[in-house]
Amino acid sequence: MDIRLMTIDDYEEVYQIWTATSGMGLRSLDDSKDGIAKFLLRNPTTNFVSVLNGEIIGVILCGNDGRRGYIYHTVVKPTYRGRGIGKALLEAVYYALDQIGITRAGLMVLDTNELGKSFWQAQGWEQRVDLNYYSKAIDPNNVK
């Protein structure tokens, strides 16, 4: 298995993985090919795919605001879970963030995503219960 930077050419294969995985919280505009192209352009060194025999089997997106990293849409195909692929993708992100001087990261997991919550807790992430997260669609077309 190889881990490499994600490119927009990976989009169709990655999007298939996302849509086949419950709890991803995809949005119509943000997660469209154009939306992901903008994200990759803004964050060229912090998004990765894992590839085995030419097939993408895992993905992790990560951006930053200059102070903090933010992780999105992390998934490994079900038949490849439990092999350390998610952890390896996360280690690639940690290294990439360190290289650009980002020392802390955050992420959100839907409350119904038990598998995701278990994964992040197993990786040493702490759940924040002392804050509320608010969201607003600026463009009303950006729907689930």
When mean pLDDT is compared across 11-15, 85-89, 136-140, the lowest value belongs to: 136-140
Residue type, 110: L
Q: What domain range includes position 118?
A: 2-122
Q: Determine the average pLDDT of the residues in 126-143.
A: 89
What local confidence, expressed as pLDDT, does residue 142 receive?
86
pTM of the model: 0.94
- Average pLDDT over the chain, rounded to an integer: 95
**CATH number of the domain that 36 lies in?**
3.40.630.30
Q: DSSP letters along 77-142, please?
A: -GGGTTSSHHHHHHHHHHHHHHHTT---EEE---TT-HHHHHHHHHTT-----S-------SSTT-
pLDDT confidence band for 136 (50 / 70 / 90): confident
Q: Is the residue at 129 inside a domain?
A: no
> Residue 26, exposed/middle/buried by CB under 10 A (0-12, 13-18, 19+)?
middle
Total domains in the fold of the chain: 1
